[in-house]
Amino acid sequence: MKEYEIKKISEYKWELVLNKELGMRVPGIIFSDKELLEHASKEETLTQVANVATLPGILKASYAMPDIHYGYGFPIGGVAGFDLDEGVISPGGVGFDIACGVRLLRSNLEYNDIKKNIEILMHNIFTSVPKGLGTKGRIKLNEKEILDVLKCGAVWAIKNGYGEEEDKYHIEENGCMEGANPLNVSREAIERGFNQVGSLGSGNHFIEVQKVEEIFDRTAAQRFGLYEEQVTVMIHSGSRGLGYQICSDYLKVMQKASVKYNINLPDRQLACAPVNSPESRKYYSAMVCAVNFAIANRQCLAHWIRTVFEKQFNKSYLKLGLDLIYDISHNIAKFEKHDIDGKQMEVCIHRKGATRSFGPNIAGVPDDYKDLGQPVIIPGDMGRYSYILLGTQKAMNESMGSTCHGAGRLLSRTSAKKQVNGKQLQKELLDTKGIVVLADSMSGLSEEAPVAYKDVRNIVDIAEKAGLSRKVAKLVPLGVIKG
């Protein structure tokens, strides 16, 4: 294990001091408390922060969010911005589950309206939503349709009856990210995506029916239409097998490109190519296809959930107030404008397990939230709580407009399975907390046990104290569906 000099800047901000002997071009900046920093150092995550700092054209710093943990190439919770002329694009800085993200729906229902029938509601959602590893969705796309999904995202879904036009204004990129080129997506990736639109997937993906337990910012909560005891629905899913295949395909391309462009890498998992190279342009356009696929996927999942609520409560989802608060991805690369040494520059931002956290009056924030800042949705584990926050101007200055994306793992999936029995966990959550948990796989449930994750309250508090985002409301699970 390499030794690094770490300098304390504040209680919640630390500097991994620039070490040119290790090839670092910029320092590392880690938003953390002392305890979580020590945990990160034990699992070699700081080495990954330092490795990212060696990449050509990196600007300001290699950033790590409070939920940082070990990942492929980049740490999960890693953020890096690159100069367009001298910088690079790296698939490892986006991850395999491209555009994995979170969507939050509000409702006009309160806990008392559903508490007697929560098990029926969850079973109905469970049977209505395809889920699990390799699962096929309810939508079978033909060749033209899947190309339209890759190019148009949630806009395709809405045009085909899976939601309302108003939904797209509360989705990142208005539901369709520009720059997609399906010609740069392999046939294998396309085939993996044919039958997976509108499916949940496995691992840490979930659907939760929740209630609002606590409000921290009443002005912002009112704007979002949130109040105590209100029922909300959170969806966490991504680009499924299509996104995974795109990442796999382009890691091979980038490994060759790194050699071609004489880029010296401390870790081959950081394989990359110059931003304006043919390899990076092709990867980026394929990545955007996966982003649009993921957004369309969450749009369709929301449609199935709205349909279940309609049947159970015998009202349209519009009358039930099942409106979209926001949908945002946390595995993505984007071209954004940021202040670099006092100058506004367009840079290529990689966020891997990190959420965009734009402050008030920044381009890209929905018009009706513009004066507040961008909504930030941070899921926790199935036994505790999740949060909705707001982006801040300080995040723009300190972390290139980024914050955490979740609790962050404490235990590997293998360790969690050894420690936790899925069936017992399911019973315990129901008996002790009244949380209805449904899953296709008890083994998969063990992997996602609360003990496997850090306490998201601590993560969110660090993010708020560091100024990266500010709390609006805390949400607690009533029912959880896992793949």
Query: Mind listing the pLDDT tens digit for each residue in 290-303?
Result: 999 999 999 999 99
Class of residue 208 by CB neighbours under 10 A (exposed 0-12, middle 13-18, buried 19+):
buried
Altogether, the residues listed in the chain come to a count of 483
DSSP label of 72: S
Q: What are phi and psi of 56, to 5 degrees?
A: -60, 140
Two structure tokens written together for 183: 């010609």
Tokens for 374, please give them: 């961008």
Model pTM? 0.96
Predicted pLDDT of residue 136: 60
Distance CA 218, CA 473 (A): 9
Whether the predicted pLDDT of 317 surpasses 60: yes
Active site residue 338: no
pLDDT at site 199: 87
Residue 186 has what pLDDT? 98
Instruction: Please provide residue 306's backbone torsions phi and psi, each rounded to the nearest 5 degrees.
Output: -60, -40
Helical axes 45-52 vs 34-42, angle rounded to 10°: 90
Cα–Cα–Cα angle for 56, 57, 60, rounded to 5 degrees: 120
Residue-averaged pLDDT of the chain: 95
Q: Which amino acid is at 23?
A: G
Do residues 75 and 63 touch, judged by C-beta distance below 8 A?
A: no
Which of 371, 329, 327 lies closest to 354 in space, CA to CA? 329
Q: What's the whole-number mean pLDDT along residues 431-449?
A: 91
Say if residues 6 and 15 touch (Cβ distance below 8 Å).
Answer: yes
Strands (E), 284-361: 324-329, 331-340, 343-352, 355-356
Burial status of residue 186 (CB atoms within 10 A of its CB: 0-12, 13-18, 19 or more):
middle
Cβ-based burial of 311 (10 A; exposed 0-12, middle 13-18, buried ≥19): exposed
Query: Distance between CA atoms of 237 and 247, rounded to whole angstroms?
Result: 16
| Residue from 165, 218, 176 nearest 372 by CA | 218
Angle of helix 143-152 versus helix 278-313 axis, rounded to 10? 100
Among the options 170, 330, 350, 405, which is catalytic?
Answer: 405
Tell me: pLDDT of 132 over 60: no
| pLDDT at residue 137 greater than cutoff 70 | no
* In the chain, where the domains are located: 101-482
Domain 101-482 sits in CATH 3.90.1860.10: yes
For position 320, what pLDDT does the model report?
A: 98
- Would strands 469-482 and 436-439 be described as parallel, antiparallel, or unpaired? parallel
- How do 28-30 and 231-237 pair as beta strands? unpaired
Distance CA 179, CA 118 (A): 42
Q: Kindly give the pairing relationship between strand 386-391 and strand 469-482.
A: antiparallel
Q: How many CB atoms lie within 10 A of CB 276?
A: 13
Q: What is the pLDDT of residue 41?
A: 86
Task: Give the number of other CB atoms < 10 A from CB of residue 264.
Answer: 8
Q: Is 461 exposed, middle or buried (0-12, 13-18, 19+ CB in 10 A)?
A: middle
Is the pLDDT score of 1 beyond 60?
no
- Model confidence at 140, in pLDDT bands (50, 70, 90)? confident
**In this predicted structure, which of 2-11, 103-112, 145-154, 468-477 has the lowest mean pLDDT?**
2-11
